[in-house]
Amino acid sequence: MIASLSGPLHATYEPDLDRAVAVLEGMGFRVRRAPLLEAGRRHWWSAGTAAEIAEEFNALLRDPEVRAVVAHDGGQTALGYLDLIDVEAIAADPKPILGYSDISLLHLVLHARTGLVGFHADLATPGLGGAWQRVTEARRAELERLYSTLLTGTEAIGALPTTPSWECWRAGRVEGRLIGGVLNRVMRIQATRYALPLDWFDGAVLFWEEMGGFASWVWSDLQVLRHCGVLDRIAGMVVGVPHAIEGLGVPDPTLAEIVLDVLGDRDIPVLGNVEFGHAGPNLPMPVGIRVGLDAGQRRLSLLEPAACADPGRTSGQAVSRGDRRG
């Protein structure tokens, strides 16, 4: 199911949504569009009121025919309905939720409240229907294999495909739970009653990306996480490709310099410029599974099957290949 979990569908992006549907159908999934995903429908900056979006989202969570929910886009709405989500429906029938940007809030909150493994992965319209259309056939085939395994596989993906853009900002090797999302959303959620308990960051690998604004905002948001105690607990960090951030590079600091400045003498491995985030397309980052990080070797490995239930916590259920429903 593709749904408007935050921002509206602008009429000019209807062709991108059609292409996203075609990508998912080409991977073998049966796809439906949720009712709020209607071109031109909007309430302020959203697809509907917070209550309307929550009502539709809860209906999808309760519908046994829906095996995964893909957000069509990000936006500025999820903070308005975090308290309206039917967490009991998730516990009764966990299903993958895909998206990034504002959807980071859903991944973090639902993981904290239910253990659901959310997929920081491409959105439908700007991602599957947009960025995926601009890559080589080989890269798109690689992404399709990754996403198919993410949603249906019973084995761990293992090492994500490395490209020359990946950078070791501080060497080291660790294993830990993968937690993160868009930096400003990670920072904001820790200011609410839905904050992840600090001990959930013990030994974790924090991943984050950011778009827009200024380099100084990134520095400030990381400082908030330092003051919250998050940076004192994590074992490693993975940083996505920055997008449209003003004030990065000569004569201003690079993103690596900003990160290392805030980390100070915290000797943890940091891998930078990994392909996830608004720059797109996205490598999948399942929130809550164990990963192996070797920054010196520029390697990030997903050590657990993201779509299979872990006996120790609730997580998304795999979609069988004979019953692929979106």
Active site residues: 101, 209, 278
**Distance between CA 241 and CA 165 in Å, rounded?**
9
Laid out side by side, the sheet with 158-159 consists of 158-159, 299-302, 290-294, 173-182, 205-209, 236-240, 270-274, 167-170
Residue with tokens 């940007």: 101
Single-letter amino acid code for the residue at 148: S
User: What is the rounded distance in angstroms from the CA atom of residue 102 to the CA atom of residue 75?
Assistant: 6
What pairs with residue 33 in β-bridges?
A: 2
Tell me if 262 sits within 8 A of 231, measured CB to CB.
Answer: yes
Cβ neighbourhood burial of 275 (10 Å; 0-12, 13-18, 19+): buried
Q: HSE of 114 in the Cβ direction (CA atoms, 13 Å)?
A: 23
Whole-number Å distance between alpha carbons of 125 and 103: 14
C-alpha to C-alpha distance for 43 and 40, rounded to whole angstroms: 10
Query: Cα separations (Å) of 47 from 34, 40, 86, 288?
Result: 11, 9, 19, 28
Rg (C-alpha) for the chain, rounded Å, is 18
